[in-house]
Amino acid sequence: MDDVPSPDTHSHQTAGHPTRPSREDAEAAVRTLIRWAGDDPNREGLEGTPDRVARSYEEFFAGYHTDPAEILQRTFEEVDGYDEMVVLRDIRFESHCEHHMAPIIGVAHVAYLPDRRVVGISKLARIVDVYARRLQIQEKMTVQIADTIDRVLTPKGVAVVIEAAHQCMTTRGVHKPGVTMKTSRMLGAFRDDPSTRREFLSMIGQT
């Protein structure tokens, strides 16, 4: 993943988004949450926590600073007529749910059926990573990955399946560990041709 520069200490306007708070604002918010939880942010064990949390958020949510479409811009046409599906399975990701900001940990399986152009397989993994490193719901993330690949590569079809565990369900609320959620999006040939869809699902170990 590309390195993302640390934000400076001043508020600034990001295109399409509200003014981003300063680093000092973020650290002050963490100190407020520590006090709200019932602890003292000035005690030795917590004194450096606001800075560490702010730095962690830079990593957790670095996807906001990358345009996923740009990742797919460099493609290759010299494929000697290859026109079978390209599948990348078990792409591990870590995200955070937008409702409780709790971790979502899972794997994504991504496939597309080329139409003259292919892209480096690492780029498919990066697309997953970019969308995962944002506040998410799994359904939306599944659609975003599939639709971006479809829009930029214009292939004959795209398929995305995501399986993930949601800590907002396992560590709070109903407390149901071991539960995973599965979502999928099929476009083009994967939606219209049952044999193509079955082949993809077989390749990722699904039925």
Active-site annotation, residues: 97-100, 138, 166, 168
Q: Residue 35 to residues 32, 43, 56: CA-CA distances in angstroms?
A: 5, 11, 20
What distance in Å separates the CA atoms of residue 13 and residue 152, rounded to the nearest whole number? 28
Q: Residue 106 to residues 15, 159, 166, 177, 195: CA-CA distances in angstroms?
A: 30, 17, 9, 14, 27
Q: In which order are the strands placed within the sheet that holds 86-97?
A: 135-136, 86-97, 103-113, 157-166, 181-188
What distance in Å separates the CA atoms of residue 93 and residue 137, rounded to the nearest whole number? 13
Three-class SS state of 204:
coil
DSSP state letter for 100: T
What distance in Å separates the CA atoms of residue 62 and residue 68, rounded to the nearest whole number? 12
For residue 191, which phi and psi values (nearest 5 degrees)? -85, -40
Structure tokens at 199: 């082949």
Q: Which residues pair with 113 in a beta bridge?
A: 157
**Residues 43 and 86: beta-carbon distance below 8 Å:** no
